[in-house]
Amino acid sequence: MPYTRLTLVTERSRAEAVLPSDEPMGIQMPMLMDLLGLTVGNHIPSVSLVRPDGALVDLELDLAAQSVFDGEIIRVVADDQAPAPMQVADISNGLAEATDTHPDRWSERDRMRLVGSVTAIALASAIWPWAFDTASASSAWVALVPGALAMAAESIVAAASNRHRAVVGTLGGLLACGLLLPGAWAAHAAGATIASVVVLLVCAGAHCLGQHRIGWASGTLLGLGLVGIWAALDRVAASSEIAHGAMGLICLIVLGVLPWSALTSSGISRLDDDAMAGRLTDRHRLHRSIRHAHDHLLSAVLVTAIGLGASAFALATYTDPWAIALTLCLSLTVLLRSRAFPLTAEVAALWLAALMPALVLSTRIPEISRPWAIGAAAILITTTSLMNPAARDRIRLRRIGDRVETLATVATFPLLCGLSGLYSHLLAALA
């Protein structure tokens, strides 16, 4: 009698079995379910056997008739989780199912977003003249009060409502933004830029807490810290060049510790220690921790990229050679450090932060040769992105990138010292 060796895999178990090739698979199912630990008493669960190509194993046929090869890995899944059949008999049902499951399918939440956006634009248009009149006639922060109160009310209602939290958060958050943004812009125009940024960050943090997104709230907390550091540097630094350079260096340091802080604050590091000690972790708890880590990392990267991009952009406008060199080092380091971040939005934010000062520096190129230089840079970037080196070459290139990133990072502090005039003072003192 011929036999076939199979590897059966479930979510929690794995087993190898040698089965007769000329007997129907249904005869072997009770023994296989017991071997995998899926049998509860005398009850055999209703499962499907899925082959590597997605086809289902027919329990009424034998393995030889279905051309099941020796050594195949068969997934054991519940019937409601079995993949769709390989052949489609009803095109209409397939079209309807594909449309319903499309990621861009119009939904109830999209309707709330559209209604909220239209209403927010209407509110912003209505409150805009009042906000500017208020900011110019009295304290600038008064223009921020309506939007801040609306955001606080939305956060409280969303936090207290479990069933309608998504709808309240979407609609209420957009309406609050319609009241808040004109006031923030009016306060900025009146000279209260720091106050408007602080209020915006506090309101964003309150909205995230109302939606129970603690990771996003921690990102707004980092933003408040960076705003406080900038306010202190603006007062203490001898010139705006030094303040922008120091702010860029601080943002670069913060960017380096963000992955570690995300893993630590989300509890993933602690879960990993528990796993190393032999203590198992609940899968739902792990998924919550991973979601919290990604929220924290994404929000913190966006905030840090804004601060770093603004600092590098301001440095690029100065004619001091130290400022230009520091801008180039910051941009190069940010581009290379973006390799350490997993999400598309994080990488895009860091590339934009590096691209803005590079565009400012490109204006220093003579008008005749500027199009050629920008075109050559675009061709170089495009050609590099189309390259697909082998794994060995990719590792070598990654190591080269790590060394260049380290050198550029180390060079930022001496360049900041040169920007502050430290070397000139030392030379004058020694002379």
Let me know whether 38 and 98 are in one domain.
no
Let me know whether 336 and 393 are in one domain.
yes
Let me know whether 56 and 110 are in one domain.
no
Is pLDDT above 90 for 330? yes
Domain count, the chain: 2
The CA distance from 210 to 166, in Å, is 10
In a domain, 149, yes or no: no
Inter-axis angle of helices 321-337 and 344-362, nearest 10: 160
The CA distance from 217 to 203, in Å, is 10
In a domain, 154, yes or no: no
**pLDDT, tens digit, 9 for 90 and up, residues 387-407:** 777 888 888 888 998 899 999
**Mean pLDDT on 360-389:** 81
Let me know whether 53 and 196 are in one domain.
no
Confidence of residue 85 (pLDDT cuts 50, 70, 90): low
In a domain, 386, yes or no: yes
Confidence of residue 327 (pLDDT cuts 50, 70, 90): very high
Whole-angstrom CA distances from 330 to 62, 165, 223, 362, 419 are 65, 41, 19, 16, 14
Domain endpoint, select from 81, 114, 137: 81
Let me know whether 388 and 240 are in one domain.
yes
Whole-angstrom CA distances from 50 to 73, 83, 274 are 9, 8, 34
**pLDDT, tens digit, 9 for 90 and up, residues 130-139:** 777 766 655 6
Return mean pLDDT, the chain. Answer: 82
Domain endpoint, select from 56, 81, 106: 81
**Mean pLDDT on 3-30:** 85
Is pLDDT above 80 for 424? no
Is pLDDT above 70 for 140? no
Let me know whether 268 and 332 are in one domain.
yes
In this predicted structure, what is the pLDDT of residue 84?
Answer: 64
In a domain, 148, yes or no: no
H or E element, residue 59? none
CATH number, domain of 30, equals 3.10.20.90
- The lowest-confidence range among 26-30, 101-105, 117-121 is 101-105
The CA distance from 19 to 324, in Å, is 72
Please give the residue range of the domain that contains residue 212: 91-128+184-424
Let me know whether 269 and 319 are in one domain.
yes
**Mean pLDDT on 351-362:** 89
**pLDDT, tens digit, 9 for 90 and up, residues 177-202:** 887 778 777 777 777 778 778 888 88
Let me know whether 227 and 340 are in one domain.
yes
In a domain, 258, yes or no: yes
In this predicted structure, what is the pLDDT of residue 153?
Answer: 78
The CA distance from 177 to 111, in Å, is 17
In this predicted structure, what is the pLDDT of residue 304?
Answer: 93
In a domain, 374, yes or no: yes
Confidence of residue 88 (pLDDT cuts 50, 70, 90): low
Q: What percentage of the chain reaches a pLDDT higher than 70? A: 92
Q: What percentage of the chain reaches a pLDDT higher than 90? A: 12
**pLDDT, tens digit, 9 for 90 and up, residues 100-112:** 777 777 777 777 7
Best CA proximity match to 340, nearest among 311, 304, 376: 304
In this predicted structure, what is the pLDDT of residue 136?
Answer: 63
The CA distance from 421 to 430, in Å, is 14
H or E element, residue 73? strand 73-78
Confidence of residue 308 (pLDDT cuts 50, 70, 90): very high
In a domain, 291, yes or no: yes
In this predicted structure, what is the pLDDT of residue 137?
Answer: 53
Let me know whether 24 and 115 are in one domain.
no
* Alpha helices (H) in 190-320, listed in sequence order: 193-210, 214-236, 240-265, 268-276, 283-316
Let me know whether 63 and 25 are in one domain.
yes
Let me know whether 391 and 262 are in one domain.
yes
71: region left, alpha or beta (phi > 0 left; psi from -120 to 50 alpha):
left
Q: Tell me which of 239 and 309 has the higher pLDDT.
A: 309
In a domain, 338, yes or no: yes
Domain endpoint, select from 50, 81, 112: 81
Let me know whether 417 and 327 are in one domain.
yes
